[in-house]
Structure 1
Amino acid sequence: MERVLGVETEYGLSARAGGRRLSAPEAAELLFRPVVAEHRSTNAFLGNGGRLYLDVGSHPEYATPECRSLRQLLVSERAGDVLVARLAARATALAAEQGTQVRFRLFKNNVDSFGNSYGCHENYLVSRALDLGPAVDLLTPFLVTRQLLCGSGRRVRGEFRISQRADHLHAQLSALTTRARPLVNTRDEPLADPSRFRRLHVLAGDSNVVEPSAALKVGTTAAVLELLDRPEGPDPRLAAFRLADPGAALHQVARDPWAPLDLADGRRLSAVEVQRAHLDLAGDATEPPVAQLWAEVLDAFLARDPERVADTVEWVAKRRLLQEFGDRRRLAADHPRLAQLDLAFHELGGPFGLLEASGAVRRLTAPVDVERALAEPPGDTRAAARSAFLEAARRRGLRHTVDWQTCTVHGLPDAEGRPSDSTVLLTDPLAARSRELDDLLAALAG
């Protein structure tokens, strides 16, 4: 089926002002002052189709607009990074005008220096017919081993682990997102017509600054979904890779990507072998650039030569940087300077930009496309409809409220000239316009 894709990114935030480190609520309040000034809220749907808001724990969060293609999603996610960085610059200037000198630091990672975890959530439109429990059971071996491709890496007490989120995930399925921290959230919240659609809400992945890892994270998952979300039911061949203990395997792979994993049927396979099997099964459903990248990475891991893909896989790039830095300075594995560099790797506007600019890691998006995505939504999804409504309501100067599938304008004169509320439902994420929306836009233009 046709799908829309989306990614929600929670950013780490710290700030200093007046010679002291601000608390998380203080830092968030200062950062979001420009948003509140413009939108009268810390929750804002934007003209580019995305959503910027302050999440639980005082984390700034950006949700991309609905995207039909992986390319659209990569550009939209990168635009979110730029948007949040520019928000920090605006907030710094506004605070200075009000007599406060503040310095913000924003991190696209998943664990802060105190060990607190925050997420990167992926969203995939699936059919209502998909039975989520059995589907996630079949998807779990793929998600557990996917960290090979897209883990962002983290040094923990001198030990390098390939994923930041793995140690903080505890269940396959749960309706909770904080206490249970499952691989997949089962809350039935399609944000669309519930008779037609579900939303697969994946919590298992790391945030990525290395774009090929971000592409592999979403592109390979979308391909495996084609094996699960079928009119005839999930591909039964996926059942051959069920894990004896998914939670234990998740942590095992994070510590040793080549370790043998116990399967439910008694066999033992490495994470690389499990991923290769999924590539073989999903190859025909995988976009050619993703399939090629997937194969290149797995070939390097099968040869136990991950350095071949240090420009592609985030945890490999990061581990190489930390190793070279430590070797040059003869630092112990648990030296604090390595921990500082580990964190700085993910800082927006930090040293990672130099790695990307030098070609040490690959970039897939074009700056001109990212700049355009800061202002324009994807033109072939519901994001375009929402954006058109926002522009029309703001041009008319009328109060309005918006969420993912509802657009309401307040005080629009009715046929008798009396102010009233008018609401349009956008229940199809694949539809860029609707007759009801066109009628409301015409009324707003009048």
Structure 2
Amino acid sequence: MPQTRAYRAALLHCLADPREVGGEASHEYFADGLLVVEDGRVVQLGDSGSLLPKLAAGVEVVEYADALIVPGFVDTHVHYPQMGVIGSYGTQLLDWLETYTFPAEGRFADPAHARDQAGLFLRELLRNGTTTALVFSTVHPQSVDAFFEAAEKLNLRMIAGKVLMDRNAPDYLTDTAESGYAQSRALIERWHGKGRLHYAVTPRFAPTSTPEQLRLAGQLLGEYPGLYLHTHLSENRQEIDWVRQLFPERSGYLDVYDHYRLLGARSVFAHGVHLCDEECRRLGETGSAVAFCPTSNLFLGSGLLDLARLEGHGVRVGLGTDIGGGTSFSQLHTLSDAYKVLQLQGQSLDPFKALYLATLGGARALYLDDRIGNLQPGKEADFVVLDYRATPLITHRLGEARTLAERLFALMILGDDRAVLETFAAGRSVHRRGS
């Protein structure tokens, strides 16, 4: 028998990019809504007054007072092995990698440590309402196995891959072009397309891969349909200069990846802070995406992403927490920093655009918007219940808000993990606050 349950609260989800479809046409809102879920998928949503009388007898209705249901958040760039270095003091990107990141990642040679950290990481994502993420593991295949094993048990839609690094990194974290290719192939065969899991070919960034390793990464993308490419791009000016020194024959940082056939649909480049117009144009025409990581860009002093320029060239953009350069798992907190980053450049982040970036925009960046990203019937039932009374300050501020836009913006600026009352993945509760 089909398992059907209905959830009653205010409902809000995006239908389109507010940049492309103005006004209320970009989203759908029900002040007293009903979300009907059957066997892990949305079957109906709408006004509760219209839908409640039509529910079949015996269908349980779960009611949330003073709450808002939104789609599950999508994190387009995050490092699960870096939880232990969040908030590490005082360096920029390259020094930060050497001082904090590489030693932390070395511990993932131990499968027990990897399993422990994978479970903790996923619990933290779900506690913050994130139901899909594009995730860096480490160079160790066992780090990927540990992550996918934990995600499979929770039936989460997750993307991850083994890091490829065959130079300019500590010996305990390097592979070879050949071993990286062979280990990646074995992991792809084991995990890609299993349940709700996807594999990402994951060179850390151009400086830590030889030309041969990048060539084999491109070869992998051609050998298996539907793979992702996940790496870093133009995060830090010192990094960009290093790429020029290592690849003098290429016209720029992006051209290194382009030369090795790493651009295209499902290719996601984290940061993209210091891109020229030609690089933005090339990302747009290839269907590649950029992960906007405002908290880490501010924390590491990397720079300010120009969202308007990227989108002007048709680049797909999602939101990334970039733990552990980023300082919060919360997409609400990340949107607060995104708003400030854009304010510094004379741009404005409308609250409905913000919700789009954290949900449907992220799903589109990952080419998963046919499955997740909003609450349309037929989509997988990944959703979050946000508590309008999460803190005394949020309660007070929302009491003063006159419009939906004001309430949504206040949640974005003041909210964090405390605002997440419950998180659902494929229709199943995978986190409830306090339990």
Task: Report if TM-score (shorter chain) is over 0.5.
Answer: no
TM-score (norm 1): 0.27
Which has the higher Rg, Structure 1 or Structure 2?
1
What is the TM-score when the length of structure 2 is the normalising length? 0.27
Structure having the higher strand fraction is 2
